[in-house]
Amino acid sequence: QTVVTQEPSFSVSPGGTVTVTCGLSSGSVSTTNYPSWYQQTPGQAPRTLIYNTNTRSSGVPDRFSGSILGNKAALTITGAQADDESHYYCVLYLGSGIWVFGGGTKLTVL
């Protein structure tokens, strides 16, 4: 069974830059996996940040960006702010109607 991998946790200083990645246990991530990214704070439903690899959802600040880096999808936060402290999840389309979420990355801003 294919697993979608993410770093379990990351720490970034206010104003700093952090890149969270989303990989596959077997193979490379490409645009045909339609990577999307979600932000979730405790007790809240996920919020869509990035869809189709690199398009920001409406209202999402431009300090959030998505890309393919090497063989993984990536979410980069440039100029991190305190309220970016959240869990971040990616999801990939594996084909045949199957989607898989990554395990999530807990981002600490300090």
- Cα(52)–Cα(32) distance, rounded to whole angstroms? 9
**Which tokens hold the place of 63?**
């300090």
Does 26 bind another protein (CB under 8 A)? Our answer is: no
Of 10, 12, 21, 38, the one binding another protein by CB under 8 A = 38
Q: Could you tell me which of 81, 78, 79, 80 has the C-alpha nearest to residue 67?
A: 78
- Closest CB to another protein among residues 35, 72: 35
The residue to which tokens 């402290």 are assigned: 85
- Cα(21)–Cα(75) distance, rounded to whole angstroms? 6
Binding mask 62-91 for another protein (x = CB under 8 A): -------------------------x-x-x
List residues binding another protein (CB under 8 A). Answer: 1, 34, 36, 38, 40, 45-48, 50-52, 55, 57, 87, 89, 91, 93, 96-104
